[in-house]
Amino acid sequence: MNITLNNGVAMPAIGLGVFQTSPKDTVDAVAAALQTGYRHIDTAAAYANEREVGEGIRRSGIDRSDIFIETKVWISDYGYDATLHAFEKSAAKLGVDQLDLFILHQPLPTAFEKTIDAYLGLEQLLADGRVQAIGVSNFMPEHLATLRERTSIVPAVNQIEVHPYFTQPAVRQANADLGILTQAWSPIGGITSYRGDGARSTFTDPVILAIAALHGKSAAQVMLRWQLQLGHSVIPKSVRAERIAENFDVFDFELTPEQMGALDALDTGVRGGPEPDSITLAAFGREIPEA
């Protein structure tokens, strides 16, 4: 299933995420996903596994032109020239000439001029045909508003934390109002369990499990189906071939409006990831190596 972005480019709705996937596991996970039928991979310069994503793609034997590659510029590479160079680094590590989607990983609220300049770099890459689409991640409505005042091209996507425990209705509405696709990170709520802080996990939620039982599906499949029916793109992460396959097997059932509502109602309003306003170069800056 494809989603058409606001510039007409088709993007597979489900991609494989590879955050926290070790370089060694990345090659196998990407190859397994492509074997299963995925045609979209979401990585980032900051994940330090772009090279292995490229290797997994090549190992699959599937034509590069049939695969949608998405990656992200880290904040340490913000600024116009630095972002153009960040493209060169990412493309070289991935072993490709063109990226399908290149996005800013985070806003830098305390250095927003750098964020704007980075986005202007993305606009240039788009104009030069080096990327098929550009976008952002973790942008709150106020960041989107300033970006729109200062730049020309509406982002194709805003990749944000969305799962049943954190549904971000205001950001999703701002995205929709601007014609930006919401792409859900931690789409099955992985962040509610892997942080290990004792928070309850979406995978063992009784409401989600009850809905899953009615459909003969897993909690992860129900959450992914909920996201797709909301019109979101999803990028679930796994390093296990059987879960990679499970997360792709979500097209043979449909949630009812009541079930959609029951999932919406699980929102706690509590973010799993960092507060966007806490992202500073001092706290989160780190050098992204050359290719």
Query: Minimum distance between the CB of residue 120 and ligand NAP, rounded to whole angstroms?
Result: 21
Is 47 known to be catalytic? Answer: yes
- Note whether 32 binds ligand NAP by CB under 6 A: no
Q: x/- binding map, residues 51-90, to ligand NAP, per CB under 6 A?
A: ----------------------------------------
Nearer to ligand NAP, 152 or 201 (CB): 201
Q: Which of 79, 109, 121, 187 binds ligand NAP (CB under 6 A)?
A: 187
Q: Are 53 and 26 in contact (CB under 8 A)?
A: yes
Q: Which of 243, 260, 271, 281 binds ligand NAP (CB under 6 A)?
A: 243
Radius of gyration over alpha carbons of the chain, in Å?
18
- Note whether 228 binds ligand NAP by CB under 6 A: no
Nearest to 221 by CA among 199, 200, 240, 202: 202
Nearer to ligand NAP, 51 or 237 (CB): 237
- Note whether 168 binds ligand NAP by CB under 6 A: no
Nearer to ligand NAP, 81 or 253 (CB): 253
H or E element, residue 246 = helix 241-246
Q: Which of 32, 75, 246, 250 binds ligand NAP (CB under 6 A)?
A: 246
Query: Minimum distance between the CB of residue 220 and ligand NAP, rounded to whole angstroms?
Result: 3
Q: Which of 38, 139, 185, 226 binds ligand NAP (CB under 6 A)?
A: 185
- Note whether 284 binds ligand NAP by CB under 6 A: no
Q: What is the spatial distance between Cα 232 and Cα 61, in angstroms, rounded to a whole number? A: 29
Q: What is the spatial distance between Cα 220 and Cα 40, in angstroms, rounded to a whole number? A: 19
Backbone dihedral region of 42: left (phi > 0), alpha (psi from -120 to 50 degrees) or beta? beta
Rounded to the nearest 5 degrees, what angle is found at the Cα of 120, between the Cα atoms of 117 and 126?
150
Nearer to ligand NAP, 91 or 220 (CB): 220
Count residues contacting ligand NAP (CB under 6 A)?
Answer: 29
Contacts within 8 Å (CB) and 24+ apart, 266-270:
266/164, 266/165, 266/205, 266/207, 266/208, 267/164, 267/165, 267/166, 267/167, 267/169, 268/165, 268/166, 269/166, 270/165, 270/166
Q: Could you count the other beta carbons within 10 Å of the beta carbon of residue 48?
A: 17
Nearer to ligand NAP, 60 or 137 (CB): 137
The residue length of the chain stands at 291
Site for ligand NAP in 249-268 (CB under 6 A): none
Q: Could you count the other beta carbons within 10 Å of the beta carbon of residue 167?
A: 21
The one catalytic residue in 38, 47, 78, 119 is 47
Q: Could you count the other beta carbons within 10 Å of the beta carbon of residue 268?
A: 13
Nearest to 67 by CA among 104, 28, 105, 94: 94
Query: Minimum distance between the CB of residue 84 and ligand NAP, rounded to whole angstroms?
Result: 21
The dihedral sign for the CA sequence 77, 79, 80, 81: negative
- Note whether 191 binds ligand NAP by CB under 6 A: yes
- Note whether 235 binds ligand NAP by CB under 6 A: yes
Residues that bind ligand NAP in the complex, under the rule CB under 6 A = 17-19, 42, 105, 137-138, 159, 185-191, 194, 203, 218, 220, 235-240, 243, 246-247, 273
List the catalytic residues.
Answer: 47
